Chains A and B, each alone.
Chain A
Amino acid sequence: MIDFVRNVRLWFAPEEVRREGHTPDYRFSLANERTFLAWLRTALALIGGGFAVDQFLPHLRWAWRIGLALALLAAGVLCSLRAVNHWVRCERAMRRGEDLPASRFPALLSIVVAVVAVAMVVVVLAGWAG
């Protein structure tokens, strides 16, 4: 948690990142940037999914619709925050010459997406049957 707070401070103090260690090969930095952008696209897709659940499943019960949409939106927020956090951590690790940080976030996110997808299938099928 304290690590996270320090990382949040780093988001707004770019000079602090640059002071540490030595500048890595710019190609590694650009690859890190593309990974960050890929995670940001994932976050935007989750947010779009939240809108889509709200818009294109109008016959669902209110609670289910809101619940699924909010779950997707929350996943999108977490994903985008984690994107910038992971980018800063990778950038710093490269400057210091350390190993890149390991993360269990991809596994967590895929489990959440799978659960939401199964819930959607069940809810839509139940809606047809009922």
Chain B
Amino acid sequence: MTDGAADRAGGGADAGRDPGLQPERTRLAWRRTTLSSTVAAVLAVRTALHGGATAAGIVVCALCCALWLGFLRVAHLRIRTLESGAGPARVPPVLAVRQAAVAVLCTVALAVCAAVLVF
């Protein structure tokens, strides 16, 4: 009984699993973000191919798909890192700044594509 209370408080270093399920919640947050980026990419493709498939439209469309794939790759790598964890306590490492920067750059580039498409 007392062991359970200690585990719930999150104090035990040998606790098998984090009671707050932090890595799982973070993994789901990445999933949600991937879904949002999918919606944005689908809207981009719809806009690009709306008025007939011009050459420029197809190029921007391919660019948006590439950005979406880049985002998906970052999310996938991060989710795998979260799942594997590091060390015997399975403490997941901090998000690499480079991964965060790549995710943000994909978002910004998508917005730039959007501005080009809208014009």
Contacts and interface: CB of A to CB of B under 8 A. Distances in A.
Interface of A: 10-14, 17-18, 23, 26-27, 29-31, 33-34, 36-38, 40-41, 43-45, 47-48, 50-52, 54-55, 66, 69-70, 73-74, 76-77, 80-81, 83-84, 87-88, 91
B55 to A, nearest CB: 20
Main secondary structure of the interface of A (DSSP, over half): helix
B115 A73 contact: yes
Interface of B: 10, 18, 20, 22-23, 25-26, 29-30, 32-33, 36-37, 39-40, 43-44, 46-47, 50, 91-92, 94-98, 100-101, 103-104, 107-108, 110-112, 114-115, 117-119
Nearest to A51: B43
Main secondary structure of the interface of B (DSSP, over half): helix
A51 B94 contact: no
A77 B105 CA distance: 9
